[in-house]
Amino acid sequence: MSAEAHGHDHGHDHEHEHHHKDTFITKYIFSIDHKMIAKQYLITGIIMGIIGIVMSLLFRMQLAWPEESFKIFNVLLGDKFAPDGVMANDIYLALVTIHGTIMVFFVLTAGLSGTFSNLLIPLQIGARDMASGFMNMISYWLFFLSAVVMLCSLFVEAGPASAGWTIYPPLSALPQAIPGSGTGMTLWLVSMAIFIASSLMGSLNYIVTVINLRTKGMSMTRLPLTIWTFFVTAIIGVISFPVLLSAALLLIFDRSFGTSFFLSDIYIAGEVLHYQGGSPVLFEHLFWFLGHPEVYIVILPAMGLVSEIMATNSRKPIFGYRAMIMSVLAIAFLSTIVWGHHMFLSGMNPFLGSVFTFTTLLIAIPSAVKAFNWITTLWKGNLQFNPAMLFSIGMVSTFITGGLTGIILGDSTLDINVHDTYFVIAHFHLVMGISALYGMFAGIYHWFPKMYGRMLNKNLGYIHFWVTAVCAYGVFFPMHFIGLAGLPRRYYTNTNFPLFDDLQNVNVLITTFALVGGAFQLVFLYNFFSSIFYGKKAVQNPWRSTTLEWTTPVEHIHGNWPGEIPHVYRWPYDYSNPNHDVDFVPQNVPMKEGEEVLHH
């Protein structure tokens, strides 16, 4: 940190110094500048990502070589959970649970949305900062606090929460049922409650900023698709996160104050509990009312980033700008009425299953529109294969591969036999895990110059992408087959089922790909952290892009633009416009006399 501070002080313009008196604390810690907050989100997200991925590698090793002894288990998990280096069955479930929680919420929600909404909303709409910089700061620090609480829960006596990231009661409500449902679960719930507060403050800020602070000429139909997706994501978040908060609070009531919202008729550890009249299915409804929109909260920003990066690097307008907006809105609307497809077999009325099958499969239509529009954007382009572009193409690829199997899982009839098997794991990791991660990587490679004023090394970026791409398919493609063989997820080992003995070789292959892919993320980490200090200095607009963030100076200043905020005269995708000689026309360039608008 001090090295960074030092570097910045050197390059600081003297004319800015008297505009604002930043101490170390107000500049780097309790900053209210959206650019700094974005970087804080990103670094926190990356650290959480490292933890989440390492956890997945640990339990993948257990699955490939069940109950074998590894020194590293003992080193990382301790004598209690990995005596003699053999992973215990309860810590296996805890690792699975916390991996899911961290990746979904801390990396792909806060790390992705938090970083790029904060960085890009003010810069791309032409605003000096977020509507409320102070609330933005609180939002980050609540997120940080929730991350700290979540990490603390790893160190409690009985182990962290281990009822799965979906924390279905009664398992999550009763410490008698699983040790992780004691203090570990309490901390999980507290952490999530804080996280939701943070997320809501962030989302409200994004919505208000996009609606109110657009610069002159920046109509809604001149917004880059990034902003559209961040805006819609924030709206979905505001609608659905409070429902998860209510579920968490009711669960806390059941756990600590003896209410029976989700519990009824339970006999455990030799005694009947007093709970009566509640229903775990109610919890499932509340959870998935957030849980399903949540996957769109994760993937929509990635879609926005990819759309923007693809247009820039194809030197072509994004194909079907309005259709892209419409499909985002359609996905957002449908995302709130499909949650029941996680619950076809929960015991709810099968008629509801029919309704949710119908709404769920409808989502394939706007998704298909998006995929075809991306592919058409490449057609007859002048493709510039920067690392960000590679990750964007990779994202479209994994989104299609993972999305297609959604047709199976969204169909209640077919879900009967693949529900909760490894088929589901393969599906959602490709369609929202890897895809969103690719979107995040694409965003980092593309906007790194904007964040740090330096460039990431492109050759390391190429190595990073290709190894990750091969490993991602290597991990998740074979996983479909073991799911179709009927292997349930969240099994510590399948050695108790000779029926599944022929799947073991596949499991070894999957883990090998996972370990290689995981190891090569070190290339990215090295590239990222060394480039912050030693990367090549960036020029103002390295990718020759049209959007407003590239009109700001490389060196960050409060208020983003030294003079007046630029006005906007055209849409954000004037690439290779035949009326102009250069292959990009920034949004702040006025229309030439008699210039026609060439798009709808």
Partner 1 sequence: MTSLLVIIVLVLLAVALWQLTKIFDLTQVGASSDDSQVASDNDNNVQGYIMFGFLAFIYIFTIYGLLKWGNLALHTPASAHGLLVDNLMNITWVLIFTVQVITQGLLYWFSFKYKGNKDKKALFFADSNKLEAIWSIIPSVVLAILILYGLYAWNNIMFVDKDEDVIEIELYAQQFKWTARYAGADNTLGKANVRLIEGINTLGVDMSDPNSQDDIVVTELHLPKGKKVHFKMRSQDVLHSAYFPHFRAQMNCVPGMVTEFAFVPTYTTAEYRELPFMIKKVANINKLRNEKSAELVAKGGTALDPYTFDYLLLCNKICGASHYNMQMKVVVDSPEDYKKWLSEKTTLAQDIKAASAAEKPAEGAEATTDTASKVKDTVKAVIDTVKAAVAKVAVK
Residue 219 binds partner 1 (CB under 8 A): no
Please state the closest distance from residue 194 (CB atom) to partner 1, in A.
25
State how far the alpha carbon of 381 is from the alpha carbons of 316, 416, 559, 579, 600, in Å.
Answer: 6, 44, 36, 17, 20
Binding of partner 1 by 477 (CB under 8 A): yes
In this complex, which beta carbon is closest to partner 1, that of residue 139 or of residue 511?
511
Cβ closest to partner 1, residue 488 vs residue 559: 488
Q: Which range of residues in 12-20, 39-47, 199-207, 362-370 is near partner 1 by CB under 8 A?
A: 362-370
Asked whether position 100 contacts partner 1 by CB under 8 A, the answer is no
Is 227 exposed, middle or buried (CB count within 10 Å of its CB: 0-12, 13-18, 19+)? buried
For partner 1, the binding residues in 298-317 under the rule CB under 8 A are: 314-317
In angstroms, rounded to a whole number, what is the distance separating the alpha carbons of residues 529 and 467?
Answer: 20
| C-alpha separations of 5 from 23, 46, 418, 450, 462 in Å | 11, 20, 53, 17, 30
Size of the residue set binding partner 1 (CB under 8 A): 154
Which of 5, 211, 249, 539 is the binder for partner 1 (CB under 8 A)? 539
Piece of the chain touching partner 1 by CB under 8 A; list 140-148, 203-211, 426-434, 460-468: 460-468
**Residue 550 interacts with partner 1 (CB under 8 A)?**
no
Q: Which is nearer to partner 1, 155 or 534 (CB)?
A: 534
Sites for partner 1 among residues 412-451 (CB under 8 A)? 412-414, 416-417, 419-421
310 neighbors 389 (Cβ within 8 angstroms)? yes
- Residue entry with tokens 């990779």: 394
Residue 488 touches partner 1, criterion: CB under 8 A: yes
19 contacts partner 1 (rule: CB under 8 A): no
Verify binding: residue 46, partner 1, rule CB under 8 A: no
In the window 318-347, what residues touch partner 1 (CB under 8 A)?
Answer: 319-323, 345-347
In degrees and rounded to multiples of 5, residue 454 shows phi and psi of -135, 170
CB of 196 to partner 1, least distance (A): 23
Interaction of residue 456 with partner 1, rule CB under 8 A: yes
- Token pair belonging to 68: 């074998």
C-beta of 151 vs 523, nearer to partner 1: 523
Question: CA 546, CA 538: separation in Å to the nearest integer?
Answer: 17
Nearer to partner 1, 104 or 482 (CB): 482
* DSSP letter assigned to residue 342: G
Element (H, E) at 268: strand 267-268
Cα–Cα distance for residue pair 387/188, rounded to 1 Å: 36
Pick the piece of the chain touching partner 1 (CB under 8 A) from 31-39, 108-116, 231-239, 388-396.
Answer: 388-396
- C-beta of residue 280 within 8 angstroms of C-beta of residue 287: no
Instruction: Tell me the angle at which helices 364-378 and 280-314 cross, rounded to the nearest 10 degrees.
Output: 20
Quick check: 397 binds partner 1 (CB under 8 A)?
A: yes
User: Between residues 212 and 417, which has the closer beta carbon with respect to partner 1?
Assistant: 417
Q: Does 386 bind partner 1 (CB under 8 A)?
A: yes
Residues between 60 and 89 that touch partner 1 (CB under 8 A): 61, 65, 70-72, 89
d(CA 12, CA 416): 62
CB 439 within 8 A of CB 370: no
Q: Does 90 bind partner 1 (CB under 8 A)?
A: yes
Buried/exposed code over 315-342 (b: 16+ C-beta within 10 A; e: otherwise): ebbbbbbebbbebbebbbebbbbbbbbb
Q: Residue 478 interacts with partner 1 (CB under 8 A)?
A: yes
Q: Residue 390, interface with partner 1 (CB under 8 A)? A: yes
Q: Which is nearer to partner 1, 24 or 534 (CB)?
A: 534
| Sign of the dihedral through C-alpha 461, 467, 111, 290 | positive
In whole angstroms, give the CA distance from residue 434 to residue 527: 20
Residue (212 or 496) nearer to partner 1, CB: 496
Among 24, 134, 155, 497, binds partner 1 (CB under 8 A): 497
